Structure 1
Amino acid sequence: MLRAVVLALLPLQATALTLDMPGNATLTAETVTDPDSYDMPTAGWTPTGLPVLTGTGEVRKQAWRIEASGLTTLQLLQPLGAQLTEAGFERVFTCTDDACGGFDFRFATEVIPAPQMYVDLGDFRFRAFRRDTEEGSELLSLLTSRSSSAGFVQIIHVGPTGSGPATETAAPAMRPARADTAAADDAPFAQRLETEGRVVLSDLAFETGSAQLGAGPFASLQDVADYLLANPTRTVALVGHTDTVGGLDGNIALSKRRAGSVLERLVTNYDIPRRQLDAQGMGYLAPLASNLSDEGREANRRVEVILTSTE
């Protein structure tokens, strides 16, 4: 349910907005509709609905992919937010994944479909802006997320015809702020888990439609076990993911069984206390790659370990 506040936008020519995107960004999708409307969230999702501000006028939607691993969602968002503030936009609302409402927020607001725009339900940021001028009023939202290899930015703008935003890849290429924060494959497991908050257990093997974990041994499970045994007060969640073969409900159940299979292996073979482990499933809602190829579907059939401790 959307709880809307309607904002009438004047059909006057406004000063065009220009956003400088990083040099390693690629525009993956763009649509322009005029006239149209956009319901911009102004607060997080609750069971009573999603509060929105509705703008009418020219609606421009863009998705961008930034080729750099290890970027945080804040690093993706901050430079664009600074440009908007300098251009006279005021921040209306900002939130991160769980604080936004997680799954419910993601599916209550407009998101350009994958693979052009990728949203990790456990790792995204949203920020909403508004600018009022003599020429009219504009709404603009930014949504940032990331995969293991790239960052993703969605921009939705509504305003008078021709008001923008024009986007150019004129800014320097984006790289992680510190090289030691990138989730490099050769970084120690504990460093990746504590820096990034999660690690894909990439050596586990699952077939389509199966929750059965292979015989192993799997080096990633030894890494998880070593970390938990060395940190007995820490807890993790094992989160299963699937490809898109089959329906959503079945895939969520399948992915949770896969995570449960990994949990049982850690308890049985590595003597990890159950109190340190949880198992959950996301189905096909957080892909790492396109499901159009065999390679992409294989990458999407995975289990991740997420650090759930806050201290």
Structure 2
Amino acid sequence: MIRPLSICLALLASAATGQDLSLPTNARQISERVSPLDSYELPVGVYAEDAVPARTVEGRVERTTWRLQSGSSTTLQILAPLRDQLEAQGYDILFECEARACGGFDFRFGTEVVPTPDMYVAIQDFRFLSASRGENVLSLLVSRNPPDGFVQLIRVAPVAATSPPPLVVETAIDDPSEVLQVLQRDGHVILDDLHFSTGEVALGPGPFASLALLAGYLTDNPDVRLALVGHTDDTGDLQANTAVSTRRAQSVRTRLIEAHRISGDRIEAQGVGYLAPLTSNATPEGRDLNRRVEAVLLVN
């Protein structure tokens, strides 16, 4: 059985939030990652129509995991006292579900999970909860791998009003010909006029100069093919990020086919998740740079 809730572990920096979440005395914090400014896709519904309904929230994001000795306790027995504490602190429960009702495998891989071994999720034995209190939102994910239980907390708090607003700069192509020069010289080029936020897969309406240039190059060089490779930051696990990066590359491929009339057999799309970063993911600016699509030259 779970021991009485007698030890307090910080939900976030208590000085800033004035809140604590009490976990069992045998709970041990496994990981903690703090992003001073980031975004999080907060699940608010069960998996349906090929997606997990989510609400995009921005602010200070903290991702924390714990491992505890669960014994014969169910995931509900682990989650229930934590839920009670949240409600006592004034949180409103936005959404709650159990493994199969959530959507099982599809829900698990459609939402953000701290990578193993820091977090373990059994596909048929987990529970999820999202909640809000004013501008503060959070999610709890609990699962078991007997005799251990696992708890993941992702919480987003508003950034202090005195903090400067986030600045996102999308690199413009000052000399469009450089795209083709780099592609021919290096065999690959970053399509840096495309931009993806964390978890975002859809390509905007454009027009995008890089895609027009690639389309013209393909038209003028019928023996050339392209591979579009999607990349992400390191938010979430590898499988989810690989899926997101693949869908990003596919969205670019679709645009070349539909808007620029390029034959689909001349363009392939793949994703590698966070395995090939340009720079460190420790800052919002670094993560923004790592979310990208590259074109790789393939010559028959």
TM range (shorter): 0.3 to 0.5
TM-score by length of 2: 0.47
* Higher RCO (CA 8 Å, separation ≥ 6 residues): 1
| TM-score normalised to structure 1 length | 0.45
